[in-house]
Amino acid sequence: MSKVLSNERVTPRLFKNNLLEAFSKVSWYVPMLLYLPVVTVSLYFSFSSIKFGLVFLFFVAGIFAWTFVEYLLHRFVFHYEPKSELGQRIHFIFHGVHHSYPRDPLRLVMPPSVSIPLAFFFFYLFKSIFPDPTHLPFFAGFVLGYVIYDTIHYAVHHFPIRNKLLLKIKTHHMKHHYKSENSRFGVSSPLWDIIFGTNR
């Protein structure tokens, strides 16, 4: 994993191609604009066919599931470093650049070119797992969990934090960046770090 190269609010160029470079950047509020309507529509159709208690149960379960997926992705995918030169380059594009430039304002949240295909993947995965239509509130909770994660991640890097809970989350994540990048993989919650012993 690359060490910190700059703590300035800079966005280094990743691609020579201007189109690829443009698609690699995204403003922090884009996930909210894209996915909060998805959450709303999914819940609307949930309430039209499922009792409130069941919607609530699957919705909360979806949020909880996101925190686990967030931990797994960060620990085992984003921090997986292939040996080949091409693999190292891909790793840097997907996550290494964030560790080298942790205050880069345009490469903190996942670009839609990646998040939209992933959203479809998880939607159909949940549809195949849960009885129809209980996948809808679960998916809504999962997506909301993702939006909360992205928003918290941006906030702890760029916003002044005064809330005590968010300060604890920020401290947890900053230790991942500046103390040990092989620990504290949870961004929106330290729960799974505590469970799996990576909270050191």
E strands along the chain, which residues?
none
- The closest alpha carbon to 62, from 139, 132, 126, belongs to 139
Buried b (16+ CB within 10 A) or exposed e, 73-88: ebbeebbeeeeeeeee
User: Stretch 92-106: mean pLDDT, rounded?
Assistant: 90
Lowest model confidence (mean pLDDT) among 35-39, 73-77, 106-110? 106-110
| Model confidence band, residue 93 (pLDDT cutoffs 50, 70, 90) | confident
Q: What is the pLDDT of residues 129-163, one digit of tens each?
A: 999 899 999 999 999 999 999 999 999 999 999 99
pLDDT at 2: 58
| Separation in Å, CA 38 to CA 45, 48, 75, 103, 148 | 11, 16, 27, 29, 14
Taking the C-alpha atoms of residue 169 and residue 163, their distance in angstroms, rounded to an integer, is: 10
110 pLDDT more than 90: no
pTM: 0.93
